[in-house]
Structure 1
Amino acid sequence: MLDREGFDLWANGYDKSVSLSEETNEYPFAGYKNVLNQIYRTVKQKENASVFDIGFGTGILTKKLYDDGFDIYGIDFSEKMIEIAKNKMPKAELIQYDFSNGLPPEIENIKFDFIICTYAIHHLNDEQKIAFIHKLQRSLRPDGKILIGDVAFETEKELEECKANSGENWDNDESYIIFKKLAPHFCSAKFHKISYCSGVVTLTEK
């Protein structure tokens, strides 16, 4: 797993690396653009929404929402990636913070229409994911949604097949969503499969 320094060093080439993996339909970014588009279309259905992006990276998705006039907040632990994103979104509220520690004080008392997280929550193990998502639910407005797009699988069998096919490219330091294991911990959870190794999980407060 990359640490903060590693992400800083990767920042300038991040978008290109993702694009190459996505174009060749390879793990881990097969379906990446469709994951982001699925979340973008969902957010776009609500006018003047407030959006909180967890692990926004270089701001690929949030830049589109920012340009559409949405109220953007975000956290990321890479100083370099924040610098790149701030150049794209100067009026967004972007905070350097490691979400494995929860939420920063500046965010804890704000309610959002959408909380989005793309290709970041895999840095938490299963137990941490569940606790973190429950915490996020308390930051939703009525009828708000949490949208998580990532390397994700409906069943453990699908994950194991992907792992076997990926060989030495598989990242054993990351903990990917298995929806059948995640869903029982929440009252309302849906999974939209995007590619053989990606999907979007939608959760609401109730």
Structure 2
Amino acid sequence: MLSLGGEDRRVTVLFGDIRGFTTISEGMTPATLLGHLNRYFDGMVDIVNRYEGTVNKYNGDNIMVLWGAPLEVRDQAKKAVECALEMQRWIVGERSKGGPDVSFGFGINTGHVVAGFLGAKGRMEYTVIGDTANVASRLTSSDIARRDQVACSAETLKEVGDDVAFIDLGAIPVKGRAEPVQCYQINRLGPIATPNPAPPPEVPIGRAAVAGYH
């Protein structure tokens, strides 16, 4: 049973953000737009459930998923990265069938958070707060987790095992942190690969932009 008090939990947090949402939405009626968003989120949540994640919230054009809160999950970082890669395969597959030009960038981070219920009396929701979640959100910046890509921190990468293919994106300044965050683009984990791996950036991301500023 979940308690109202906050607790320290070690979790893996995934954020997913739609690329070019404003452009996509301009060409659709509100009803059509919501229908497409719901279809994509339905498919993504099916994949999240298979990898034992918990959808924490939707916020318009993005999604937040947790591993390790409120439920304990073994191999949480590995399952989060596998889930993200599987979602990218599914999303690209839907586009290839003639769906709208929807694409996501995913950011993943692992570490400690404060988990618990937040809000006012009568309207409280379970969530996690802290630097770990903030960094995961920042990794969805369009210059880090590019179109159809999965980006993660060093804390996540070191827990996924050795059978992984990745691109080192360097140490990236992140808004709200004194120290830069080492980031990686994950192209494959075990048998699951992203369908459209992006090449290494021509200009190191850490020099080109500050994450969190668009």
Q: If the length of structure 1 is used for normalisation, what is the TM-score?
A: 0.31
User: Rg larger in 1 or in 2?
Assistant: 2
Q: If the length of structure 2 is used for normalisation, what is the TM-score?
A: 0.30
Question: Which has the larger share of helix?
Answer: 1
Question: Which has the larger share of strand?
Answer: 2
